[in-house]
Structure 1
């Protein structure tokens, strides 16, 4: 791999939406060596999270019947978030050359350590990557407890309509339930009717992990402290994991259903990078380089920072808007955006290239 990546020279785009624009960038990035595996980086992280996970349970035993267990629960939430990031990377084929090694690494990390279904996550996340922020196809903006478009809110009435009009203020409290929601969705898929790949491997792993987790805590601790431990761990896990994904697309342009947009522009205009240095890299697991991740999903996480200047310069020359904001600013944007949904501000949801592509 080269020591540095030089800026990519490119002539101005011949026409908006030229599919060759991404081909030229992808060829350059591939030739630069930035798609090569980073085994040293990932093996170090894999060993570290396994040791940290084991250390947490040693701490649970040593701390014993004490409210200091809540600090241990918070530490476990941090470790599990890092486990989830590695599972995400492996599901994207970032760690190993072998598809099977990536899949099984993700399955073990997600199921055995975090209690989540690799299959459920991969299916949902792949659909998001295929059509980020597109109405009707991106599951991450599908109507649910939170609604992301005025059209979806218009279908609600009563309490749900009131909640939708005020949902921006509930965003952070709702993140505390995200961890529980992920577990419920995982188990629901694994127990659902129909064909689920590797169900008979994943289901025992996920369910056993969840049952043993709860059982061990209630065995080692009084019921009140065990319940508090689970509550703190789940809430913080939801905030940290959900909070690492939400700033990347929420509040960015939503593409109307059926609109055709070329791959490069689709990924760039709907994604937002988060500035902040090493601390943000750790807290967000590399997802702060969301534009680059969406353009090159299988690129190893540590290489995203190195390709960013190339992508940013390339987008500038093509006239494609490249968005990057500060960490706290990104969350303010989300709250403001959700409140605009409540006010039915349709202008907030128009794709900036709609005029170029037509509806």
Structure 2
């Protein structure tokens, strides 16, 4: 079948149910082979979340022109449009279905979780919402059906979403024409590299004079600043060459910072694509320490972590006071990044399919980098002279990086976590789930330019130093399209996040009281029934 073949929606659904990975790009039907799903540099989930959907905006936002010319080679035809638009299907993974290899080496459907479709229609739980919960062990079908791929009702207009999408593509063209994808090496990274070197030298000099606190603070500040460049490299936003960007990123993240850039890219891509979705975005899945939606009380299944996020007794206790623990937990967030990094690399090492993703050289270089990191940092801790001083150095150097973690959550924790379904366009979703942190130019370096999260989420490959200029165009776009561009000051943003955490904590307490009242009522009914029976 050639590029002239026209596929109706039912035809596309049938092929997806037969096991094909089909994605729409500029009305072309792309068939992604399983080998590429397994080895896609952006991770397999980045593809699986768009099966049956129009991913034109996402594909162009995440890939350079050279890659886009290759994308069309996967085309097997065109799709049939209704009123000039593709009516989306629900990707199987969003209803708990995945493809796995059976004992014979053949791919087959496997239901990893149960889809819980909203029975109400509120801003927090819209009718379009599909959340995943622990797998129901009762007899069910052994494969998804056409009904599984059919989206629940939504209040969104497909026509309006298509209009947003088309306007976004015009905006993207304006961004390109303005030269904002050109990296300002000298004026952008020049001063930053000097600051990295200065902080490193200060830390080493202070350490040599036994000024351990000064050394630890300087080292923490250097890590804090280096993360911004590692972030850019992970998005291929510096040299725009995947291999070169990844090589530099490994040196910065793994060798100097002790964190896996491979994990960060895998995690961060999904965060960008399904931002603030309780069942799919790993960046808001922080049980038992934080939840930003009462939906987490249902012990949701995470399609990223492949496990149930249990809302157990310990979680209930912690979540009830999460707004009081927020800054304490954030102070030690870097330790959690170590755990996530090393867990990812371990899984990658034991899973041959994941091991090929991004090149084996990158995996082994990361392993070498982490060994190097703990060798030099271990020597630093050992040289402090006592375990008490080493512990103090460890804690101080890591706590200094905590403002970065606070800043990141400010841009999403206070925003919507509702699932508006596959009808929602890329720009609508990003503006609904992201916000900016307003700050003066004099302290923008502290935020690394990533306080402009709205624009960054719309154009993830855009060099960080050009986000401010681009944000002016984005604000014009939002105003023209009737979309909200959210932004808060740093203090107000903190108040918003704490307000969300406090609100959810109060709802959890209320749910606990209701559950106790219902349990007490049930017991009283049983006692009364037993007494009547005895009489």
Common fold: TM-score over 0.5: yes
2:450 matched residue in structure 1: 287
Please give the secondary structure, in 1, of the residue aligned with 2:485: coil
Matched, 1:165 2:320: yes
Matched, 1:338 2:495: no
1:4 matched residue in structure 2: none
Q: Displacement, 1:318?
A: 0.8
1:233 matched residue in structure 2: 397
- Contact kept in structure 1, 2:437 and 2:489, CA below 8 Å: yes
Give the distance between the partners of 2:158 and 2:315, measured in 1 at CA: 47
Matched, 1:209 2:369: no
Matched, 1:263 2:426: yes
Residues 96 and 47 (structure 1), Cα distance of their counterparts in 2 relative to 1, 3 Å cut: farther
Q: Which has the higher strand share?
A: 2
- Structure 1: which 5+ residue stretches go unaligned? 1-12, 346-359
Matched, 1:180 2:180: no
Query: 1:75-114 alignment to 2 at 5 Å?
Result: 75-114=218-257
Matched, 1:151 2:295: yes
Q: Which residue of 160, 170, 173 corresponds with 1:16?
A: 160
2:142 matched residue in structure 1: none
Two-structure CA RMSD over aligned residues (Å):
2.0
Matched, 1:32 2:178: yes
Residues 219 and 143 (structure 1), Cα distance of their counterparts in 2 relative to 1, 3 Å cut: closer
What TM-score results when the alignment is normalised by the length of structure 1?
0.86
Matched, 1:45 2:192: yes
Q: Displacement, 1:74?
A: 1.5
Q: Displacement, 1:136?
A: 1.8
Give the distance between the partners of 2:443 and 2:280, measured in 1 at CA: 30
Give the distance between the partners of 1:135 and 1:228, measured in 2 at CA: 36
Number of residue pairs matched by the alignment: 328
Give the distance between the partners of 2:390 and 2:490, measured in 1 at CA: 33
Please give the secondary structure, in 2, of the residue aligned with 1:343: helix
- Contact kept in structure 1, 2:438 and 2:489, CA below 8 Å: yes
Please give the secondary structure, in 2, of the residue aligned with 1:288: coil
Matched, 1:61 2:208: yes
- Contact kept in structure 2, 1:187 and 1:206, CA below 8 Å: no
Give the distance between the partners of 1:306 and 1:294, measured in 2 at CA: 15
Q: Which has the higher helix share?
A: 1
1:355 matched residue in structure 2: none
Give the distance between the partners of 2:192 and 2:368, measured in 1 at CA: 26
Residues 74 and 55 (structure 1), Cα distance of their counterparts in 2 relative to 1, 3 Å cut: closer
- Contact kept in structure 2, 1:187 and 1:203, CA below 8 Å: no
Please give the secondary structure, in 1, of the residue aligned with 2:488: strand
Q: Spell out, residue by residue over 1:279-312, the C-alpha distance to the aligned partner (whole angstroms, 9 max, x if none).
A: 4421211111011111111111111111212211
- Contact kept in structure 2, 1:60 and 1:69, CA below 8 Å: yes
1:7 matched residue in structure 2: none
Q: Displacement, 1:222?
A: 2.7
Bigger relative contact order, structure 1 or 2 (CA pairs below 8 A, ≥6 apart)? 1
Please give the secondary structure, in 2, of the residue aligned with 1:261: coil
Q: Displacement, 1:257?
A: 7.1
Q: Displacement, 1:259?
A: 4.5
1:296 matched residue in structure 2: 459
- Contact kept in structure 1, 2:199 and 2:221, CA below 8 Å: no
- Contact kept in structure 2, 1:112 and 1:206, CA below 8 Å: yes
Residues 159 and 21 (structure 1), Cα distance of their counterparts in 2 relative to 1, 3 Å cut: same
Give the distance between the partners of 2:395 and 2:479, measured in 1 at CA: 46
Residues 279 and 331 (structure 1), Cα distance of their counterparts in 2 relative to 1, 3 Å cut: farther
Q: Spell out, residue by residue over 1:209-228, the C-alpha distance to the aligned partner (whole angstroms, 9 max, x if none).
A: 02320222212433221210
Q: Displacement, 1:124?
A: 0.2
1:352 matched residue in structure 2: none
Q: Displacement, 1:314?
A: 1.5
- Contact kept in structure 1, 2:292 and 2:504, CA below 8 Å: yes
Give the distance between the partners of 2:496 and 2:159, measured in 1 at CA: 31
- Contact kept in structure 2, 1:135 and 1:254, CA below 8 Å: yes
- Contact kept in structure 1, 2:205 and 2:215, CA below 8 Å: no
What TM-score results when the alignment is normalised by the length of structure 2?
0.58
- Structure 2: which 5+ residue stretches go unaligned? 1-156, 300-310, 509-535
